[in-house]
Structure 1
Amino acid sequence: MKRKIKLFTVLTLLVSVISFAQLKEYDYKRSLDAVKEDWHTVTVPDDVFSKVSPSLNDMRIYGISTALDTIEVPYILKINKEKTISQKHPFEIINTSKTDKGYYFTFKLDAPTSINNIQLSFKDTNFDWKVDLEGSQHLKQWFTILEDYRILDIHNTTSVYSFTELVLPESSYRYFRVLVRSDQQPVLESALISMDKLIDGEVVKHRVKTMKLKEDKSSKSSVFEFELENKVPVSRIKVLVDANYDYFRTINISYLSDSIHTEKGWKYNYRNIRTETLNSLESNEFKIEKTIAQKFRISVLNDDNQALDITSVAVEGYKHELIARFTQPADYVLAYGNASAYRPNYDIQKFKNTIPAQLTSLGLGKEVAIDKIKPTQVSPLFENEWWLWVVMGIVITLLAGFTFKMLSNTNNKIEK
């Protein structure tokens, strides 16, 4: 009986060591709620992103089963982006004409159908026009869809910008015509008529902790800096401007990539994400490639214009979640924080169509730092240097004694 108990104890310790050997490669862990189904989702909390690599490769789900087996749970990282489905509709331009109001372009669709977007492309540059859009089923009676809609094109040495997209409420007609209020004949090169449907993603709104706006008159620019509560993935930034006049400014959006402490203080390095145009025509909502950061900077080129009053920003990212498959009961944890970890390669990546449509989410416990096994340091033989001096003194004394004895023996032999 005692032998069995000892064997069980040894096995338990062995399993614990193996499990810890896997976990010790990571810096942090969080316990997962009890698993009740084969498939679950685990939402990645905001405060995890500052402790994982930018590639998000270093996240693992481990468990210890009732049979003392160590389990690595396969998962798929899902980023819940929105999707736009665009259905293009064929058409032909059947008429161009001029009246006292301006220039008309009439489009005929193959069949009456619903649309909500018309993209216009003109050969002209540097224009600022107002347009009307009307629809008809038989060319006899026209119904107004858009009125005094502004389209704009700017080409100069510092800026290239074009806004010629007509966004309209869903409308179903066989014929559409665009009135361009211009003194000169516009040259319409092409157009694209479509029905765009947006499938919403799951957006996470990030709280802005601090904001600061400063103007640099010497460079004719302004800099708006803001910091978020956590280092998180950001995919959309909306800039709120307090201005009752038209404006058009080139901006650079960047994020703090690293910082260096020098003799003169901290030096901050910002990396540019993209260049955009801040203007009074659009909503000033900019989509960016997913960037995991906490501090951002928006540089505004004012030229000779009055500096804009940027009052705030709205920052959003997409929800990140792990879709995991569990095969047996166990105590599971989410482990993360390992810069050298590789991207896991699980079979379920190839069988996404087998994942149930409705999944329940598992809650996470508080973050716990994983203790590391520190290598055992061998203490030096003599930690106190006085012992070294004592030993050296003894050695020197012994050597002196042996030397003196040898000399005495030699002298005795010579005398004989």
Structure 2
Amino acid sequence: MKKIIFQFIFIFLSVFCCQTVFAQNNFLYKRELKGIQKSNQTEWYKINVPIEVIEKINTDFSDIRIFGVTNSDTLEAPFLTRKIMQKSENQKVDFKIINSSKKENAYFFTLEKDNTTRQEEATNLIKLDFENTNFDWRVKLEGSQNQNEWFEILNDYRIVSIQNEFTEYKFTRLIFPNSKYKYYRIKLSDKSEKQSQNGFKNNEPKLNSASVFLQKTIEGNFEGLEIISKNIEVNKDKKQTIIDIELTHSVPIDFLSLEVKNDFDYYRSIQIKYLLDSTITEKGVIYNFVTLHTSTLSSIEKQNGSSSFFINSNEKSKKYQIIIDNQDNQPLDIGQLEIKGYINQIFTRVSPSDKAISYFLMYGNERLQKPNYDIVRFQNTIPTDVTLLELDSEQKIPQKEVEKVTPLFENSLWLWLLMGTIILVLTVFTFKMMKK
């Protein structure tokens, strides 16, 4: 009896496991690599990944591979990914404050380069640290080799510090072209000096330190992202300016430049968001935007009419949103927008014996994990002069049809009969056990 019951239960469970799917790990797209040289040495090559490919792959490049294909075999070529990002390095140059003085309505601070420092070493950045917490001052920066003859470097330059219960903001950096002076003289004058004979209004500058640097900037390798629509709306209830942007492709953004046409001073909080998803409700579509970057939009740091923001995002989206908090201020007049993304590069290594075959960049395989190649640990061996390969046009790879197993019973009546039979057998078995 027990054997019969187990057989019925097995059949019953098999009915509910009515479909089995057999699938293979397949790539959706491929592009042939053009330009591999048939030489007798192992060589490195690089590929600039197009935006159209970035849109279709994972941001960690886990779903791509490079294959060399022959009529009888497939060879996987190792690769690594890289992008040249914008960054700055500050190399400190030893200076000390040797003089602090006041003349009429201006304050002067003189800096001298340390004797142990190479005199030919250039500088282009001075960071000022004041004990004062709230000020708006004008700066004139001069340089000299002997303190007798002074040369103007910056004039009518502005530094600001704002600290209250609502906000905290400080801009006290002097940025100037590369200079090799032994002495720097900083002249501070109050913004309201022309309107007031008292000048600084009992807020005399108290300079704690002045640090001098040579700032070296490595330029990022960017490409522009096409904007297909831009909508600017002022929400009076929320006191915000909302800018909705739609791109041609769903890709990460790494750089945003925003033009402000107004010539008055402003200091606003700014948020940059991306569209995560949307929900359809009875009242319409609700969009779920997630914050990517928060910063300050300030007239102090505006250059050539625009403010720039480095975002360095890994989130892909076609729709982005910029929110400017106006508080009780007049909304800003927004002009041109520029959005860029870093150019992603793939480096691969090909040995002489494998150069006779055709190579393809294959992508769109969601089931793959990120590969683990040895060359990732030896990136310093990649030469600086690497041949750039061209990518052929995209080809869709035909997918195998999913094999479907027909259910054991297509008619639901058979299921009910089977269930009834099992219940009847179990009931009979139970009564027999009770009599015993």
TM-score w.r.t. length of structure 2: 0.78
Residues 1:323 and 2:347 aligned together: yes
Residues 1:205 and 2:252 aligned together: no
In 2, the alpha carbon distance for the partners of 1:118 and 1:336 equals 48
- Seen in structure 2, the aligned counterparts of structure 1 residues 376 and 275 have a Cα distance that, compared at 3 Å, is closer
Question: Deviation of residue 260 (structure 1)?
Answer: 2.5
Match of 1:16 in 2: none
In 1, the alpha carbon distance for the partners of 2:123 and 2:105 equals 25
Q: Give secondary structure in 2 for the equivalent of 1:362.
A: strand
Match of 1:357 in 2: 384
Identity of aligned residues (%): 38
In 1, the alpha carbon distance for the partners of 2:288 and 2:409 equals 48
In 1, the alpha carbon distance for the partners of 2:295 and 2:407 equals 63
Question: Deviation of residue 289 (structure 1)?
Answer: 2.5
Match of 1:48 in 2: 53
- 1:297 corresponds, among 304, 321, 340, to 321
Which amino acid in the other structure matches residue 98 of structure 1? K
- 1:269 corresponds, among 268, 288, 298, to 288
In 1, the alpha carbon distance for the partners of 2:282 and 2:136 equals 52
- Seen in structure 2, the aligned counterparts of structure 1 residues 109 and 145 have a Cα distance that, compared at 3 Å, is same
In 1, the alpha carbon distance for the partners of 2:168 and 2:384 equals 45
Residues 1:285 and 2:308 aligned together: yes
In 2, the alpha carbon distance for the partners of 1:191 and 1:70 equals 62
In 1, the alpha carbon distance for the partners of 2:281 and 2:26 equals 33
Range that drifts further, 326-335 or 160-169: 326-335
Q: What are the equivalent positions in structure 2 for 1:66-77 lying under 5 Å apart?
A: 68-77=72-81
- 1:247 corresponds, among 252, 260, 266, to 266
- 2:362 corresponds, among 335, 341, 357, to 335
Residues 1:237 and 2:256 aligned together: yes
* Alpha-carbon contact 1:53-1:338 (below 8 Å) kept: no
* Alpha-carbon contact 1:224-1:310 (below 8 Å) kept: no
Which amino acid in the other structure matches residue 100 of structure 1? E
In 2, the alpha carbon distance for the partners of 1:194 and 1:237 equals 27
Match of 2:135 in 1: 127
Max Rg structure: 1
Q: Give secondary structure in 1 for the equivalent of 2:148.
A: coil
Match of 2:211 in 1: 192
Q: Give secondary structure in 2 for the equivalent of 1:148.
A: strand
Deviations 1:201-238 (A, max 9, x none): 32111111110000111111110111111122311101
Q: Give secondary structure in 1 for the equivalent of 2:390.
A: coil
Deviations 1:158-182 (A, max 9, x none): 3221111111122111111111114
Range that drifts further, 71-80 or 345-354: 345-354
Deviations 1:69-98 (A, max 9, x none): 211111110112234343210111111111
Question: Deviation of residue 381 (structure 1)?
Answer: 7.5
Match of 1:58 in 2: 63
In 2, the alpha carbon distance for the partners of 1:207 and 1:48 equals 15
- Seen in structure 2, the aligned counterparts of structure 1 residues 371 and 242 have a Cα distance that, compared at 3 Å, is same
Q: Give secondary structure in 2 for the equivalent of 1:47.
A: helix
Question: Deviation of residue 377 (structure 1)?
Answer: 2.1
Deviations 1:356-376 (A, max 9, x none): 221222222222333332332
- Seen in structure 2, the aligned counterparts of structure 1 residues 59 and 380 have a Cα distance that, compared at 3 Å, is closer
In 1, the alpha carbon distance for the partners of 2:322 and 2:341 equals 18
**Which residues of structure 2 form unaligned runs of 5+?**
1-22, 191-199, 418-436
Question: Deviation of residue 123 (structure 1)?
Answer: 1.9
The number of aligned residues is: 366
Match of 1:179 in 2: 187
* Alpha-carbon contact 2:97-2:210 (below 8 Å) kept: no
Q: Which has the higher strand share?
A: 1
Q: Give secondary structure in 1 for the equivalent of 2:37.
A: coil
Residues 1:108 and 2:127 aligned together: no
Deviations 1:58-117 (A, max 9, x none): 221112136x22111111101122343432101111111111141111111114332111
Q: Give secondary structure in 1 for the equivalent of 2:52.
A: helix
In 2, the alpha carbon distance for the partners of 1:47 and 1:338 equals 16
Question: Deviation of residue 382 (structure 1)?
Answer: 8.1
TM-score w.r.t. length of structure 1: 0.82
Give the superposed CA RMSD. 2.3
Match of 1:96 in 2: 100
Q: Give secondary structure in 1 for the equivalent of 2:404.
A: coil
* Alpha-carbon contact 1:41-1:362 (below 8 Å) kept: yes
Which amino acid in the other structure matches residue 373 of structure 2? Y
In 1, the alpha carbon distance for the partners of 2:295 and 2:348 equals 38
In 2, the alpha carbon distance for the partners of 1:252 and 1:157 equals 20
In 1, the alpha carbon distance for the partners of 2:323 and 2:35 equals 48
